[in-house]
Amino acid sequence: MLYRTAAARSVLRALSSSNASVARSTLTSNVFKAPLTSAARYPARPTSSPSLALAARKPITTALVRYASSVSKEEHGEEEVDMMAGIKGEAKVIKDTFSLADVPKEALYLGMAGVIPYVATSLETVYLSYEIGKAASNGGDGLLFSGQSAELMLHMLEPIQVGYGAVILSFLGAIHWGLEWAGYGGKFGYRRYAAGVLAPAVAWPTLMFPFEYALISQFLAFTFLYYNDARAAACGRAPHWYSMYRFVLTFIVGASIVATLVGREQVANTITSEHTITDKVNALLFLKKKEEEEAEARRKAEAAEESE
């Protein structure tokens, strides 16, 4: 009995000691396993102060900024060069388009001199219109002339500008007669002579129109003749340079006409109204009737004297 009890106790002690050793080993392995595993999975990073990090990154950032700025400057410079090259190319195209290098010098100089009277009368009209407007606002006196003097000179310029325009139109039509006589580009007969006949036929009746209508009619006539001359140059019936030559001269004359009309419009309600074509025709008919009555009265007086 005692033997059995002692044996049982020894067995229990052995079991308890083995369980305690197993528990200690399990606890020890669980405690140290997690730190070792996490350390193995995530190795420790070297720590550094913020100032050292900024010092390490600053050269790289500065280099990147300098590189980006240099690249942007180079691209911007290339864009400016390309833009300037494009502008210069377009300017060269415009210069070549409106070039008068092929025009004979004599024709160029005489043509430019021929538009000077037209430009001068136009500028004078604009200035006198300014004088009339200033005199109307000041009560009678302008900058250099009085309102009445400026209006009188303005009416004197009207027939000069319209008459000179009719002369230019007639001359432009006569050029085609000369080209036909010279046989330039061949013989075209009445087709070419028609321009020389049509130009004065349209130009000279404008002298009877009111001033504004006369200028508008001549502007349309200049435009039509330029179109006809451009077609003639394109078809070989006139020199190749004649189209651009006529364009420049027509542009100057057209701009002068527009300036005159604008100046006249500024004083349209200030100056005295001009006689219309109806008034002129009625005055002509009245004068003719009066002359007939006077002639009839003279015949009656002569007949009465003879009878006595």
Query: Looking at residue 148, what is its pLDDT?
Result: 77
| b/e code 242-274 from CB counts within 10 Å (16+ = b) | bbbbbbbbbebbeebbeebbebbeebeeebeee
Residue 233 CA to residue 213 CA, distance in Å, equals 30
Give pLDDT, residue 146.
76
Segments of the chain scoring below 70 in pLDDT? 1-83, 89, 92-98, 140, 142, 271-280, 308
Task: Look at residue 178 in the predicted model and tell me its pLDDT.
Answer: 92
Residue 139, φ and ψ in degrees, nearest 5: 95, 30
What is the Cα–Cα distance from 242 to 17, expressed in whole angstroms? Answer: 128
Q: Specify the pLDDT at position 13.
A: 55
Distance CA 241, CA 251 (A): 16
Count of positions (residues) in the chain: 308
Q: Which pLDDT score, from 0 to 100, does residue 253 have?
A: 94
Q: Answer yes or no: are the C-beta atoms of 150 and 131 closer than 8 Å.
A: yes
Structure tokens at 202: 């349209």
pLDDT tens-digit profile of 23-68?
444 444 444 444 444 444 444 444 444 444 444 444 555 655 555 5
Residues 6+ apart with CB under 8 A from 174: 196, 199
Q: What is the pLDDT of residues 169-184, one digit of tens each?
A: 999 999 999 999 998 8
DSSP string, 67-78: HHHHHHHHHHHH
